[in-house]
Amino acid sequence: MQKLFYIPYSDVIEAHHSILSVQIGSGYIGYAITTDEHHLLELGWYASKAAYATSLQELLKEQTHLNQNFSKLNFCIDSNSNVLMPTERATEDFDAALYLNSHNVADIVLQNQISSLSLSNIYSVPYPLHEAFPEGWTFKPIHLKTLFLNNLADDKGRGNITLNIMNDHINVIVSRGNKLLIAQSYHFSSPDDVLFYLLKICETHDLQQRELVLKISGLIDRDSSLYKALYQYFLIIEFESASWKIKENNIDFAPHLFRTLNLLSLCES
């Protein structure tokens, strides 16, 4: 496990007054400790080629204070092993669809409700990861796509593409007229891969590249080859912001980098 970004907190963290948010996905694991007033106390982001359960165990071994009893715990899984269904049909048989998205019969199947869209996000948590959770952790997991869909912005009919960049994959949420068109993840190895997916989406759904808003978050900056490539094809690009407050003695960083952890830390349940 390789540490990519770390904001240490110099003082003793009072766990019973703090919120721990952990996010895990293919190739990475990250966490943030915040207060009830949304102050960021500590943040860590790691690259990991290990299985989800091993990544979590390695994180807890390196950062032993994360085993404390925090006042609240939020856990998010970033995977493609999920199915979006109308809420009224969420009780139907969805096993076949999950299997097509890398579901294992031993995995734990969970649901998140997306009330604003009348959808249920049905997804699986690998059984070894479920068993790796410390005994003291009490929480309701949330899928990363649920986080995005709960925070869809009004597109005013022009269309929005929310693009979140992780270590080796992107999460893409596409909407128009407040109607969801796509919620998918794609692996990529070069900026050309990302452009291919986005341009194909625009062509398929008749989205105008000069009119839609491309909202970006994750591991990207303005000097990167990926951003420069996107800038050649999309007129309106916005970096997503984070709302947490950072202490003056902490290292400053672009707010869009870890927006997903910020959204996770704000979850009510």
Distance CA 21, CA 259 (A): 12
Residue 19 covered by a domain: no
Residue 189 covered by a domain: yes
226, 167 Cβ separation under 8 angstroms: no
Residue 9 covered by a domain: no
pLDDT digits (tens, 9 = 90+) for 16-67: 688 999 999 989 999 999 988 888 889 999 999 999 999 999 999 999 989 8
Structure token digits, residue 202: 């625009």
184, 178 Cβ separation under 8 angstroms: no
Domain span at 193: 153-239
* Phi and psi torsions of 237, nearest 5°: -120, 130
Crossing angle of the two packed helices 191-204 and 225-233, in degrees rounded to 10: 30
50, 26 Cβ separation under 8 angstroms: no
Residues above pLDDT 70, as percent of the chain? 89
What is the distance, to the nearest Å, from the Cα of residue 28 to the centroid of all Cα atoms in its chain? 11
Residue 97 covered by a domain: no
Residue 161 covered by a domain: yes
Residue 159 covered by a domain: yes
pLDDT digits (tens, 9 = 90+) for 200-211: 999 999 999 999
Helix (H) or strand (E) holding 264: helix 259-265
Residue 187 covered by a domain: yes
CATH code at 212? 3.30.420.260
183, 143 Cβ separation under 8 angstroms: no
Check residue 67 and report its DSSP letter.
G
Residue 183 covered by a domain: yes
Band (pLDDT 50/70/90 cuts) for residue 254 is: confident
Tally of structural domains, the chain: 1
